[in-house]
Chain A
Amino acid sequence: MLRRRPGERFGPSRGPGKELRRRAKLPVWPRCRPRLLPAALLVPCLLATIGWSQTWRQANLGYRLQFPRDHASHPEYRIEWWYYTGNLADSSSRRFGFQLTFFRAGVRTRPENPSRWAVRDLFMAHLALSDLETGRFHFAERLNRAGPGWAGASTETYRVWNQSWEAGLDSDGRHRLRARDGDFGIDLVLEPGRQPLLHGRAGLSQKGSQEGNASHYYSLTRMPTRGSIRVDGREFEVAGSSWMDHEFGTSFLEQEQIGWDWFALQLDGGQDLMVFQLRRSDGRRDPNSSGTLLDASGKRQGLGRSDFSLEPVRTWRSPHSGARYPIQWRLSLPRRGLSLTVTAAQPDQELRTRWSTGVTYWEGAVVVTGTRGTDPVSGRGYLEMTGYAGQSMGDVFR
């Protein structure tokens, strides 16, 4: 359902000149959120194919995020995803990391073909499980159109699904995640935990130099989690803490960005931190690199490019793809007195997805150590790294 609110316009606000620039640049998603790999791959192809003739809504100031309403889908925007990562352990302290992501990528706002199979949106999903005891990493993906109801994202209440994988709110307002592929899977209940953390300006995360190149973006940063994990045919009762991102918008990444490094960290003592940097083809850090810090008190602080520094410490070469990933980072926020070492909980957490041939990325559980002022601090979190598998993202997105 398209919801229109007073004072808001549907469709991108743009003059003819702007449209031409956009076409010429073959802009690539997502400038704001580097995570959306498959969607990032598919959407520009679509643009090349069908042109910019659609009327998708742009993310603008003035939209007030409300919950739980805005957990649900926003089909008037081109791109949307729901992203869960978490660190869990069973009663004997056997540790696991998981990632479950649902993507929606708009193709045509109104397909002319009346068939239910006509594609308005493409739905993708990634499931990954890091078995930190054995060091094994499992991943799977789903790609579907809505069709007769194989995949979708409801607009009324929060529910998103792709075949049998699904995420949504139960009657108690808890998040239910269920996904299984062959002999591994998850079945988890996530308490909402802390208040939603709005990134950027009141949840509008400005990404590009141009107005309108932005997205609505919030996170649930510390969700108490319980449930079961299945791996190698065994069930484990687990508990831990998860992180959810939800973002929707209609803007795109630039060509010269070759990759990105994104961190979502939960520190002991109640600080939650999200930062990412975009790496440019000239080797420099993109000015749009940014982050948000949530204090134990619930105070939110935006982080600009100059507020943090990131430095790779140790790399690991993937035997599968040959890519070399920094699996240990030094992250410092000098003004907040934070000096952190972020280390992959296990080296191999690389996803190689069928649909992004050549686009292979690393997404995995990390362990944090370091200092806050003079006090030691530790924590856990998730790290995503792209653009290391030999290919510039810019080339891929062409």
Chain B
Amino acid sequence: MSPPPALRRSPQPKPLMFLFRTFILRRLREEKVRSLATVLGVALGIAVVLAVQMANQSSVRSFETALEMVAGKTSLEIVGAGPGLREERLLELDWLEQFGQISPIIEGEARAQFPSGDREWLRILGVDILRDESFRDYRLVRFAGQSQSPGPREFLQLLSDPNAILLTQKLARRHGLDPDSSLDLDVGDRRETLTVRGLLLDKGPARALNGTFALMDIAAAQWLLGRLGRIDRVDLRLNPEFSIDQAEAAIAARLPADLTVQRPSRRGRQVEKMLEAFHFNLTALSHIALLVGLFLIYNTVSLSVITRRREVGILRAVGGSRRQVAGLFLAEAGLLATLGCALGILLGGGLARGALSLTSSTLDRLYIRSAAEPVPVGVEHLVLAFAVGIPLALLAALVPALEASRVAPTEAVRGFDRLESRYRLSWRQRWLPPILAVLAVGFACLDSVEGIPLFGYAACLATVFAVAFLVPAVLHVSGRAGSRLTRRWTGVEALLANANLSGSISRISISVAALAVSLSMLTAIAVMIGSFRETVQYWVQQTLQADLYLAPATRSNIYSKSSVSPEVVRQVAANPGVAAVDSFTSFTVDYQGRQALLGSGDFAVQLDRAGLLFKAPRDGRSAVRAAIGQDAAVVSESFALRHRKTVGDAVVLNTPRGQRAFRVAAVYYDYSSDQGIVVLDRSTFRKYYGDQPPRSLAVYLKEGLDPERVRSGILAGLPPQSRVFVHTNASLKREVLRIFDNTFTITYALEIIAVAVAILGVAATLITLILDRKPELALLRWTGAEQRQIRKMVVIEAALLGAISQGLGVAAGILLSLILIFVINVQSFGWTIQYHLPAGFLLQSSLLILLATALSGIYPAYRAGRVPPSREA
């Protein structure tokens, strides 16, 4: 078939451009609201993905940059098996001189209290300043902004003054501090006053952590941080003739068994690994919004195709090729996606800040203190946005575009398919849902990939698509049921609304699917969080049995190195109301390249008084009792899962006395660390690691005493410079749940954005439907329908869509929550969660969704109401 002359003569060089302008652009302009909603949907999806990506990067990167800056010219470092190593061990390391220079390091944290009342956390680096000069670049600020390397005078001042500290110029400016002013620091469980002996210029390590870096002499740092006799690690700067690989191997071969040589970046990788699961899950969540945004593109293009079959037919009749037709619709998707991505990048930069502030408190509480600055939007983010957004959008548009290309010229011109008299399920809709469901079950049974629940998410995705493909069938069934119901029980508006919906199943099914999918994720996450919360609450109830808990005020998470000083322990023990004190100490260890917490408590006291919940063996209590005095450990569930250990297995730990195997006596439930905890009985711990200061105390009171009063008594008896938190049992439980709720704020935020995107989709669909149904509406008006009735009808349509989506969403969500709780959560965090359906929340959210979708119908209703009465159908 040769094209008619008219088309041939159309602007020669760019016929496709011309078509695109007239066929797509004009239409997009006409339907501004729908186009805008689609663009906005994609933008939000991209923005959320970017924001989470950037927030994750910020926290890891801030740690790694700080690490790099503080490491300076350090090529390798030597770390011990315990918390640091005893300083005498340095003498055994004399031979390291042949490889290069060594510098012992103390690192710690303190919270600075500035005169203005502001507080900031400082990372304190304690070095032997006589040796460290060649490792790191320190420059002191001199008068009038001039800089200089610290000379003997400055160093000697630092050397001889046990309270001397150097701050960064940036920090000093922020808080109006001058050299020689005094600075209050909360360190461990007490307050100390130091003297600012100089300001570090924005160079070398002083650039790290947004200026919250402080330098001290090693002697002063040891004293301040309560680590007399110990150092944290030894930095080594290799002479230029050595390659790092060679030296690392040579040194490793010669080091005593309990010391390890590693690159400084290893600590960065550990942190990355520690945060990996947390970050991965956030990323996965963020993709839901993107997924919904893509549904929106699919929806828009499908609607475009469906409502314009006739035009497509004409185009084909006058000579447009199939390829051209498909290309036109793909171009539409491409245009919308490009705009959406561009807007998404702009939005993403802003959202990143929010995401960061929501996640950083969680990170501080559960993992590691981070002074994360949001990373700026970089080229990689632009690439990510466009490279992910546009191809996916094109992929989403491919199905409807191909469908459009298959429209036969004759069929369209005859105008057959404008009416969908009877809806028939396609093979896809018939067979895909069960196939996908089987796939989902299959995926759910597979193991994690290196601690990342890839298959768990694949199962979720399969479920989601199964639901999406099920939508037309559901709409079909619900339409029939609705027609019976509305005929008998409701007014004419609802009857018409229902009829309209069942009459345009193919048009609405995609937006319903999008909404249903996002709602199902919301439901699943709500169920998961609700179950988790119930579980934690139960666990807290059972486990926290002590009357009072005492910890240093600077202890922000369980990996914190802050400890309770001996005076405080003595004071507490001496209180007449106290019956028993159980101290818990812990430090992080490297267990097979991953951080774990090694802790110690008094098993006997724990068994007598605390209510540990054991996962295995059945009689955990007697197993633990039998483990006292043995080389045995009790491990947390997350440790057991992460490292595949069960009762009877050996956990090999690097101790100052060499490698030792500890038999797993029991596995207990714990929700405080997803990195895993290994607990040794006090006596066993002491045998291998020596005495370590306690990190926290659990205090049991004598019968019948009021914890609040004993608490006040203890606090009153402490020295004035003490800074400790004493929680009563009840207040600690509240605190645990508060932290818990805090942690999931971002989860909800991400979900709500996804739902908002989906609701945008519903609104856009309704508008299209109304435009499409203009003649119908005019006829209705002509037959006597009032504007009010028309509007009501449209709002009911919207609410019906919402109701169907939510119904489907809740049903699918409950399925998804099973995957989340029993697959994904177990694989990424290693926690057992008792299933619990938060009925109240589901009911509330359903009502809210109904309301929100009804509201989204208001604008389409207004548009529909404005259609003038007319007889022409």
Question: Which residues of A pack against B, CB within 8 Å?
Answer: 41-42, 45-46, 48-50, 107-108, 111-119, 122, 143-145, 147-150, 163-164, 182, 355, 357
Contact = CB atoms under 8 A, between A and B. Distances in A.
Interface string B16-51: 000000000000000000000000000000000000
Contacts of A164: 94, 97
Contacts of B218: 115, 117
Contacts of A119: 159-160, 219
A357 B159 CA distance: 19
A150 B220 CA distance: 18
Contacts of B90: 147-150
Given A116-B229, A357-B151, A148 B87 contact: yes
A355 B219 contact: no
Given A114-B228, A118-B219, A164-B94, A148 B156 contact: no
B162 A49 contact: no
Interface string B200-231: 00000000000000000111101100001100
6 contacts: A42-B152, A50-B161, A117-B87, A119-B219, A143-B130, A163-B97
Nearest to B87: A148
* B88, B94, B130 — most chain A CB neighbours (10 Å): B130
Contacts of A122: 130, 159
Given A46-B156, A114-B223, A144 B130 contact: yes
B128 interface: yes
Interface in B131-165: 131, 151-153, 156-157, 159-162
Contact of A111 (B97, B153, B162): B162
Given A144-B130, A145-B130, A163-B94, A42 B156 contact: yes
B239 interface: yes
Contacts of A108: 160
A50 B156 CA distance: 9
B243 to A, nearest CB: 17
B1 interface: no
B419 interface: no
A120 to B, nearest CB: 10
Contacts of B160: 46, 49-50, 107-108, 111, 119
A196 to B, nearest CB: 32
Interface string B776-788: 0000000000000
Contacts of B88: 148-149
* B97, B156, B161, B162 — most chain A CB neighbours (10 Å): B156
A145 B222 CA distance: 15
A48 B153 contact: yes
B379 interface: no
A116 B219 CA distance: 7
A143 B132 CA distance: 11
In the A-B complex, list the 3 residue pairs whose CB atoms are closest, starting with the nearest: A117-B219, A113-B162, A115-B219
Contacts of B104: 147
B130 A115 contact: no
B157 to A, nearest CB: 5
Contacts of B217: 117
B91 A148 contact: yes
Given A41-B152, A119-B219, A182-B239, A107 B229 contact: no
A144 B162 contact: no
Contacts of B128: 117, 145, 147
A144 B217 CA distance: 13
Given A117-B87, A149-B90, 10 more contacts: A46-B160, A49-B153, A113-B219, A115-B223, A119-B159, A119-B219, A122-B159, A145-B159, A147-B90, A150-B90
A45 B222 contact: no
Contacts of B159: 107, 119, 122, 145
A54 B283 CA distance: 63
Contacts of B162: 111-113, 118
Contacts of B228: 114-116
Contacts of A42: 152, 156
A149 B89 CA distance: 10
A114 B219 CA distance: 8
Interface in B54-100: 87-88, 90-91, 94, 97
* B91, B131, B219 — most chain A CB neighbours (10 Å): B219
Interface in B437-466: none
Contacts of B229: 116
A113 B223 contact: yes
A28 to B, nearest CB: 13
B156 A45 contact: yes
A113 B159 CA distance: 11
Contacts of B94: 163-164
Contacts of B161: 49-50
Interface string B377-411: 00000000000000000000000000000000000
Nearest to B149: A357
B682 to A, nearest CB: 26
Nearest to A123: B130
A147 B219 CA distance: 9
B87 A116 contact: yes
A226 B222 CA distance: 44
Nearest to A183: B241
A176 B378 CA distance: 63
B195 to A, nearest CB: 12
Contact of B131 (A45, A48, A144): A144
A111 B159 CA distance: 10
Given A114-B223, A148-B87, A107 B130 contact: no
Nearest to B157: A49
B130 to A, nearest CB: 5
A268 B317 CA distance: 122
Contacts of A112: 162
Contacts of A145: 128, 130, 159
Nearest to A124: B130
Nearest to A48: B153
Contacts of A111: 160, 162, 219
Contacts of B87: 116-117, 147-148
A182 B98 CA distance: 8
A147 B91 CA distance: 10
A378 B514 CA distance: 104
Contacts of A115: 218-220, 222-223, 228
Contacts of B97: 163-164
Nearest to A356: B152
B863 to A, nearest CB: 78
Nearest to B151: A357
B415 to A, nearest CB: 92
* A50, A113, A117, A163 — most chain B CB neighbours (10 Å): A117
A51 to B, nearest CB: 10
A49 B152 CA distance: 11
Interface string B96-135: 0100000010000000000000000000000010110000
Given A107-B159, A148-B90, A117 B153 contact: no
Contacts of B222: 115, 117
Nearest to B126: A117
Contacts of A150: 90-91
Interface string B546-567: 0000000000000000000000
* A113, A116, A143 — most chain B CB neighbours (10 Å): A113
Contacts of A182: 239
Nearest to B160: A50
A223 B223 CA distance: 46
Contact of A49 (B91, B131, B156): B156
A240 B228 CA distance: 47
A56 B239 CA distance: 40
A225 to B, nearest CB: 25
